[in-house]
Amino acid sequence: MTQFWTDTVKRLTPYVPGEQRSGENITKLNTNENPYPPSPAVMQAIGNVSADALRRYPDPESVQLREALAAYHGVALENVFVGNGSDEILALAFLAFFTHEKALQYPDITYSFYPVYCDLYSIESQVISLEDNYSLSMDRFVPNAGSIIFPNPNAPTGLATPRDAIAALLKKHTEQVLLVDEAYADLGAQSVVGLVNEHPNLLVSQTFSKGRSLAGMRLGVAFGDKALIEGLQRVKNSFNSYPVDAIAQAVGIASIEDETYYKKTLSQIIESRDWTTEQLRSRGFEVLPSSANFIFARVPQQTSGKGSEPAAYELFQRLSAAGVLVRYWKKPRLEDWLRISIGTSADMHRLMDCIDA
């Protein structure tokens, strides 16, 4: 009975995740999942979790996992925060750092969870337009006017912002938080984790969901100055002390320790990304140069376009009917484009066969 909802709940427009259709003949290229399984060491770590570890509450501060992440990234334990997926970390960060009077700045075309969190916490926003070529110019942000968040690489474009450009923005923007969402940074963008010790207002979030094949585990991480991490801990401990369970803590450590497997699967994805980009371009698609595990492709009009719907929508529907799922948004500047996650080589061959059919 919706009459029991609070006014806040009534006005929410929740985030809609990509379709999780499964079955024999489905090729899922719509939620930027990794097509390869997690490292065998991860599966072994799950098997090794003791009954005692499940009986007891997990370490609320995930110290061993944070130590492993700190050593991997060359920062201190106090600079690392972990959460139940990076979405949860973003939700905590919005509450910890963005709920003041000044409007939060983020790109007009970006991860669609940002406006949802603004809505949830009643945060004003100021959208920053992408350039005509869909790149994100740091010069468009107004330093210190309000906090800033953007993904690097951006989603759904896949375009990366160079580290030097972010560093230049940080020189001017010192009074408010800058949150760089590096969910896809291990697939080609330059991470700014190394800058957190120089900039007390820089927070960087990353995830185990993409490059590390652990979307189902829900594990995210943030790096920042000690005071920013403490701010996140204060919010976490006012909401849920144990967001990262015992299995996820063990899995995170095992994943970090198997660098060889991680690097191998990343390079396989990058190889398939390059192949798919080339194949689509040869068929007249415009494909933005991606630094992520997905590509953003403008569908040529001649592919279909006979009806009144955009050619991209018609192709999206045709692929969906054939069991190949990609992502489509019927929105200004996006309606001619498809976002296609990178699957295995066989997945990408099937995609091309369906496009050609």
Ligand X SMILES: Cc1ncc(COP(=O)(O)O)c(C=O)c1O
Binding flag, residue 310, ligand X (CB under 6 A): no
Query: Residue 138 or 155: which CB sits closer to ligand X?
Result: 155
Query: Residue 155 or 325: which CB sits closer to ligand X?
Result: 155
Residues 198-227 that bind ligand X (CB under 6 A): 207, 209, 215, 220
Query: Residue 31 or 279: which CB sits closer to ligand X?
Result: 31
Binding flag, residue 87, ligand X (CB under 6 A): yes
Shortest distance in whole angstroms from residue 65 CB to ligand X: 15
Alpha-carbon gap, residue 23 to 315, rounded angstroms: 21
Site track for ligand X across 32-51, x = CB under 6 A: x-------------------
Binding flag, residue 85, ligand X (CB under 6 A): yes
Both tokens assigned to 221: 């991480």
User: Using a CB cutoff of 8 Å and minimum separation of 24, what contacts does 64-70 make?
Assistant: 64/249, 64/253, 65/244, 65/249, 65/252, 65/253, 68/252, 68/253, 68/256, 68/257, 69/221, 69/252, 69/256
For ligand X, which stretch binds (CB under 6 A), given 54-62, 83-91, 301-309, 341-349? Answer: 83-91
Contact pick of 118, 128, 160, 183 for ligand X (by CB under 6 A): 183
Q: How many CB atoms lie within 10 A of CB 231?
A: 20
Query: Residue 116 or 355: which CB sits closer to ligand X?
Result: 116
Closest CA to 212 of 255, 244, 155: 255
Shortest distance in whole angstroms from residue 141 CB to ligand X: 17
Binding flag, residue 111, ligand X (CB under 6 A): yes
Alpha-carbon gap, residue 211 to 184, rounded angstroms: 7
DSSP string across 203-244? EEEEESSSTTS-TTT--EEEEE-HHHHHHHHHHHTTT-S--S
Shortest distance in whole angstroms from residue 78 CB to ligand X: 22
Residues 138-167 that bind ligand X (CB under 6 A): 151, 155
Q: How many residues bind ligand X (CB under 6 A)?
A: 13
Closest CA to 110 of 159, 68, 43: 159
Query: Residue 20 or 302: which CB sits closer to ligand X?
Result: 20
Binding flag, residue 77, ligand X (CB under 6 A): no
Shortest distance in whole angstroms from residue 243 CB to ligand X: 12
β-bridge partners, 204? 180, 223
Binding flag, residue 293, ligand X (CB under 6 A): no
CB-based contact 251:118 (threshold 8 Å): no
Binding flag, residue 277, ligand X (CB under 6 A): no
Alpha-carbon gap, residue 179 to 123, rounded angstroms: 15
Alpha-carbon gap, residue 161 to 189, rounded angstroms: 7
Contact pick of 33, 181, 186, 314 for ligand X (by CB under 6 A): 181
Q: Which residues would be at the binding site for ligand X (CB under 6 A)?
A: 32, 85-87, 111, 151, 155, 181, 183, 207, 209, 215, 220
